């Protein structure tokens, strides 16, 4: 599924969830990942932090969200405060292409649009071109 540029622009302007998941699908994905209290998530290209903040509230997880857009990070921090999970999650501007060496997380989420098939960053790519392609990986 390819998202057109104007659809992506409307989503950025109006939506909390910056990918094509519905609220029910976002919850279901957390259930599929078998999230439970005390686990930690690393969310690469977290956008406005909706996934991490909702999962923190719903499943009791903590974690870190990273995005290269400082406006999104401000929104994510505000959302964490709104949902009462700011003490469990942290959002930061940074590299959205890798998890820091030595870091340990139960779930790492990366939007496939951030990486090519070899795991390298796609430079200069239209953000709408891969917005619908996502993947979740649980490290156990």
Number of domains in the chain: 1
Long-range contacts of 69-77 (CB under 8 A, 24+ apart): 69/93, 72/18, 72/46, 72/47, 72/48, 73/49, 75/48, 75/49, 76/46, 76/47, 76/48, 76/49, 76/50, 76/52, 77/49
Q: How many CB atoms lie within 10 A of CB 38?
A: 11
Q: Where in the sequence is the domain holding 122, given as residue range(s)?
A: 5-138
pLDDT in tens, 23-35: 888 889 999 999 9
pTM listed for this prediction = 0.70
pLDDT tens by residue, 77-117: 999 999 999 999 999 999 888 888 888 999 988 865 554 44
**pLDDT confidence tier of residue 138, bands split at 50, 70 and 90:** very low
Report pLDDT for 15.
53
């Amino acid at each position: 599924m390819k998202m057109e540029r104007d659809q992506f622009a409307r989503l950025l302007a109006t939506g909390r969830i910056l990918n094509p998941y519905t609220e029910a699908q976002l919850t279901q994905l957390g259930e599929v990942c078998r999230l439970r209290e005390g686990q930690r998530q690393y969310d690469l290209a977290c956008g406005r932090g909706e996934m991490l903040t909702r999962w923190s509230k719903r499943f009791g997880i903590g974690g870190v969200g990273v995005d290269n857009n400082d406006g999104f990070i401000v929104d994510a921090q505000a959302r964490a405060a709104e949902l009462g999970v700011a003490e469990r999650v942290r959002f930061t501007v940074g590299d959205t292409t890798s998890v820091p060496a030595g870091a340990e997380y139960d779930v790492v989420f990366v939007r496939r649009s951030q990486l090519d098939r070899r795991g390298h960053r796609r430079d200069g790519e239209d953000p709408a071109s891969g917005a619908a392609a996502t993947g979740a990986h649980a490290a156990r």
